[in-house]
């Protein structure tokens, strides 16, 4: 069954209902592929509306130390692009949650761009985020993705000017990933970007759902950010939990607990106090 458009439709539908989507990020294959297969359905049950899975890369220039280490762990444990696509196939037996893959361009280029788009869709992937491909070089990826029915989620940053925003958002599909800060991924105490201004500027260029990510650590910050956009991405804060738990039996409950807390904050059901389950 084709999943074409499912990701975008789900987020649009949530937008219409005034619900905020939560997009947790995990690094595929960290601590092992088996855990990735078990984590994704658990995250969906805990309230994830979309799950972002990173394909580990040896040189993750857009990532801070937490995700760099996760990628190194995943590679050391034997994760490859093909194995992560295999994990998604397995995940699809357990959950229907939309999945976007985050990959640097070289693993995709090495796999073969068209072959990757086809294999990703066959596995049940809904979209792809490629942080190191500029718009001007993204033609082959976007064409292959469009042919296969894979969304290409573009990133925009606070320093993307109006013309650039117009061009990037026009070429995007699925949703727009708004990078909340200038810098790399990683938990931050404060996000000092003028988010209202940034998001309203992006909004003026596109009707696609807007997700904010980079630096969002917990329920309060997520709820605060969600006030401006349609979805929040939480990555390093979860990856840090994964790093701490490793392969212990508590891994999946601990990550799910955090996702549930954040989702409840987004639902406006109360923050910290009554979210603990």
Partner 1 sequence: MFGLECAVYMGEEDIRRQALNVFRMKLLGARVVPVTTGSRTLKDAMNEALRDWVASVDHTYYLVGSVAGPHPYPMMVRDFQQIIGRETRRQILAQAGRLPDHVVACVGGGSNSMGIFYPFLGDAEVNLVGVEAGGHGVDTEQHAATMTKGRPGVLHGSMSYLLQDGDGQILPVHSISAGLDYPGVGPEHSYLKDSGRVQYHAVTDQEALDAFQVLCRTEGILPALESSHALAYVIKTAPGLNREKIIVVSLSGRGDKDVRTVAAELGVTL
Residues with active-site annotation: 52, 63
Burial of 2 (0-12, 13-18, 19+ CB in 10 A): exposed
Nearer CB in complex with partner 1: 104/228: 104
Q: Rounded to an integer, what distance in angstroms lies between the CA atom of residue 214 and that of residue 148?
A: 29
HSE-CB of 225 using CA atoms within 13 angstroms: 32
Quickly tell me which residue has 């595929």 as its tokens: 28
β-partners of residue 26 are 53
Q: Rounded to an integer, what distance in angstroms lies between the CA atom of residue 82 and that of residue 245?
A: 26
Q: In the chain, how many H helices and how many E strands?
A: 13, 9
Nearer CB in complex with partner 1: 46/130: 130
β-partners of residue 236 are none
Shortest CB 61 distance to partner 1, Å? 5
Chain residues binding partner 1 by CB under 8 A are 57-62, 64, 68, 75, 80-82, 104-111, 132-134, 159, 181-184
Nearer CB in complex with partner 1: 134/227: 134
Write out the E strands in the chain.
21-27, 51-54, 99-102, 127-129, 151-153, 155-156, 176-179, 210-213, 231-234
Nearer CB in complex with partner 1: 14/113: 113
Q: Rounded to an integer, what distance in angstroms lies between the CA atom of residue 115 and that of residue 111?
A: 7
Shortest CB 3 distance to partner 1, Å? 25
Shortest CB 161 distance to partner 1, Å? 13
DSSP, res 267: T
Nearer CB in complex with partner 1: 64/172: 64
Q: Rounded to an integer, what distance in angstroms lies between the CA atom of residue 212 and that of residue 134?
A: 19
Instruction: Please report which helix (H) or strand (E) contains residue 81, including its range.
Output: helix 81-91
């Amino acid at each position: 069954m084709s999943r074409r458009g499912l990701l975008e439709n789900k987020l649009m539908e949530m937008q219409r209902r005034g619900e905020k989507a939560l997009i947790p990020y995990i690094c595929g294959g960290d601590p092992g592929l088996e855990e990735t297969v078990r984590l994704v359905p658990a995250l969906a049950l805990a309230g994830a509306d979309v799950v972002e899975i990173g394909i580990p890369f040896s040189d993750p220039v857009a990532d801070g130390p937490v995700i760099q280490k996760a990628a190194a762990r995943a590679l050391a444990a034997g994760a490859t692009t093909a194995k992560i696509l295999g994990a998604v196939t397995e995940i699809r037996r357990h959950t229907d949650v939309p999945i976007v893959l985050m990959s640097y361009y070289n693993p995709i280029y090495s796999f073969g761009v068209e072959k990757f788009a086809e294999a990703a869709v066959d596995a049940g992937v809904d979209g792809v985020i490629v942080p190191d491909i500029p718009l001007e070089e993204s033609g082959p990826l976007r064409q292959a993705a469009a042919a296969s029915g894979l969304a290409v989620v573009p990133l925009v940053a606070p320093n993307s000017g109006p013309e650039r925003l117009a061009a990037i958002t026009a070429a995007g599909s699925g949703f727009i990933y708004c990078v909340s800060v200038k810098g790399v991924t990683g938990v931050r105490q404060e996000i000092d970007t003028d988010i209202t201004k940034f998001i309203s500027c992006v909004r003026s260029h596109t009707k696609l759902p807007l997700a904010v990510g980079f630096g969002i650590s917990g329920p309060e910050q997520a709820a605060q950010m969600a006030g401006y956009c349609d979805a929040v991405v939480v990555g390093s804060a979860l990856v840090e939990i994964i790093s701490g738990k490793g392969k212990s039996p508590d891994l999946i409950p601990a990550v799910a607990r955090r996702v549930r807390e954040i989702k409840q904050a987004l639902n406006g059901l109360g923050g910290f106090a009554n979210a603990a389950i």
